[in-house]
Amino acid sequence: MLHRPTYLRCHQEKAPSEKGKVLGGENIEDIYEHHMYKITSGDYDMDFKKSGIQDVRYSEVSRILVGEPVGLGNSYDSGQYPPDAFSARYLREELYQTNLNIKLVTDREVTFRKLGKLAIASITQPLSVIFDCVGPEIVNSIDRMKVVRRLLQETVNVLSKYDERFTPSLLTRYRMTLLESHSGGPSKMQVKIKLNESHDIDGLNGMIVEFGRWTNLGCPLHEEVIRLVKEKAISQASARTADIMRRKQEQKLRWEQNLPHNRKRNLSGGREGQSVEEYEETWKSTKQRHNPPKSNSKSLRHIPNVKPFDKPFIMPLGSRQLASPAERRAALEVTE
């Protein structure tokens, strides 16, 4: 592997201490760019600060498997940390101070455990997308199980070159454990494709294909799975776009037909058979007519059909109130 990850494994048992310090980065980029560790959790999602050390409270954690620490490097300001803060010994001591059940394992053991999960995920998740089903439904189908066995055999042929412990029986046991613990809902890859998010097919089956290239073994079935998943993602994205356009067209037709539920158009004077463009022009002109622009001056220029007066109007004594503008002009001529 290209890096030596720190591996965190969680079990459903009470821990000796519910508070501990963990070390690590969120992804592989953190290891190279920030010289941090990668900690993967079996049951919990955790966030990490760039300092590499953070207090995290656990509800049920019993064991931590730690690969050999390699130090944080010299990219950080050493004045903010103890003199040996960047050494592997300091990181190991910080882990032992958590009072958690810690077991130090080799990098090969860490990689073996992670590759086992990768192998199973590269089978169950893509097939759930291709067959549009959940995990338990894969086991209940004879035809789908034939595809699973072929993928398992292809995966074993590749991974056994790295570690001889990768056998069909081992991966079958991993697969059954994963499917039995499945809640029956959609897989992560199904959810991401449905939400039009980036799926990790290249990080799952693509990794198996890369291992095959390194060992001079072909993985045609995994390559076919990658192609089918990408086609399924493109087709669903196209269907989603077509559905959005269809809804917009239906909305436009409702406006043109002047349906009763369109209150805004009915109140604004739209007529039956009027197009959307004509209605928008009518609505804008109606809005401007009923809401004239405000003016700071006291003139009457903004009021239609009324001319401003050069001098104040004086009502004749004993006359009634003149309502119309024409009567006011006639009265003004009399007073002049």
Note the pLDDT tens digit of each residue in 108-163. Answer: 777 777 777 788 888 888 888 898 887 777 777 888 888 888 888 888 888 888 88
Specify if 214 maps to a domain. Answer: yes
Question: What is the number of structural domains in the chain?
Answer: 3
CB atoms within 10 A of CB 266: 12
In terms of domains, do 100 and 115 share one? no
Contacts with 96 (C-beta within 8 Å, 6 or more apart), sequence order: 102
Q: What is the pLDDT of residues 206-224, one digit of tens each?
A: 888 888 888 888 889 999 9
In DSSP notation, 220-257 reads HHHHHHHHHHHHHHHHHHHHHHHHHHHHHHHHHHHHHH
pLDDT at position 87, please?
55
Domain assignment present for 335 = no
Task: Tell me if 70 is assigned to some domain.
Answer: yes
Res 146: pLDDT: 86
Q: What is the mean pLDDT of the chain?
A: 62
pLDDT of residue 224: 92
Instruction: State both tokens at 42.
Output: 């079996």
Q: What's the pLDDT at 334? A: 55
Number of C-beta neighbours around residue 253 at 10 A: 11
Same domain, 116 and 232: yes
Per-residue pLDDT, 227: 92
Q: What pLDDT was estimated at residue 115? A: 79
Higher pLDDT, 204 or 266: 204
The residues, any chain, with a CB within 8 Å of residue 90's CB and separated by 6 or more, are 82, 84
The stretch 189-200 carries a mean pLDDT of: 82
pLDDT beyond 80 at 238: yes
Q: Which residues have a Cβ under 8 Å from the Cβ of 98 and sit 6 or more positions away? A: 17, 19, 20, 21, 22, 64
Phi, psi for 64 (deg, rounded to 5): -125, 125
**Do 286 and 268 form a contact (C-beta atoms < 8 A)?**
yes
Q: Residue 170 is which amino acid?
A: L
Q: Does 308 reside within a domain?
A: no
Q: Which domain holds residue 30?
A: 6-105
3-state secondary structure of 268: coil
333 lies in some domain = no
**Same domain as 31, residue 148:** no
Distances (CA, A) of 233 to 123, 131, 221: 17, 13, 18
| Residue range 290-316: mean pLDDT, rounded | 49
Run of H or E including 63: strand 63-66
> What is the pLDDT at residue 47?
32
Report which secondary-structure segment, H or E, holds 104: strand 101-104
- C-alpha 47/C-alpha 50 separation (Å) is 10
The arithmetic mean of pLDDT across residues 247-255, rounded, is 81
Q: Are residues 140 and 197 in the same domain?
A: yes
Residue 191 sits in a domain whose CATH number is 1.10.1040.10
H or E element, residue 153: helix 142-159
- CB contact at 8 A, 115 and 159: yes
Specify the pLDDT at position 190.
Answer: 85
**230 vs 234: CA distance, rounded Å:** 6
Pair (196, 218) in one structural domain: yes
Stated length of the chain: 336
**Average pLDDT of the residues in 192-199:** 82
Q: What percent of the chain has pLDDT over 90?
A: 3
Q: What is the mean pLDDT of residues 302-323?
A: 47
Closest CA to 54 of 63, 46, 62: 46
In a domain, 127, yes or no: yes
| Contact (CB, 8 A) for 196 and 240 | yes
Residues 182 and 127 in one domain: yes
Whether this prediction's pTM lies above 0.75 is answered by no
Whether 121 and 78 have beta carbons less than 8 Å apart is answered as: no
User: What are the residue ranges of helices labelled H in 162-200?
Assistant: 168-180, 188-194
What confidence score (pLDDT) does residue 116 get? 78
The pLDDT of residue 8 is above 50 = no
- The neighbouring-strand residues paired with 38 are 25
Question: Can you read off the two tokens belonging to residue 61?
Answer: 């954690």
Does residue 305 register a pLDDT over 80? no
96 & 121 share domain: no
Assess whether 74 and 92 both reside in one domain.
Answer: yes
Task: Convert the pLDDT of each residue in 41-98 to its tens digit.
Answer: 333 333 333 333 333 333 233 334 444 444 444 444 445 555 554 555 666 666 666 6
Whether residue 12 lies inside any domain: the answer is yes
Condensed to tens digits (0 to 9), the pLDDT of residues 170-187 reads 777 766 666 665 556 788
The 3-state DSSP class for residue 89 equals helix
Task: Determine contact, residues 23/94, Cβ cutoff 8 Å.
Answer: yes
> Which pLDDT does position 286 carry in this prediction?
63
Supply the pLDDT for residue 271.
53
pLDDT computed for residue 228 by the predictor:
92
CA pair distance 312, 315, nearest whole angstrom: 10
Last residue of some domain: 82, 105, 128? Answer: 105
- 186 or 12, higher pLDDT: 186
**Nearest Cα to Cα of residue 128 among 7, 12, 274, 228:** 228
| Same domain membership, residue 207 and residue 158 | yes
Q: Are 46 and 161 found together in one domain?
A: no
Residue 144 and residue 63 share a domain: no
60 & 142 share domain = no
Give the pair of three-digit tokens for residue 150. 């072929």
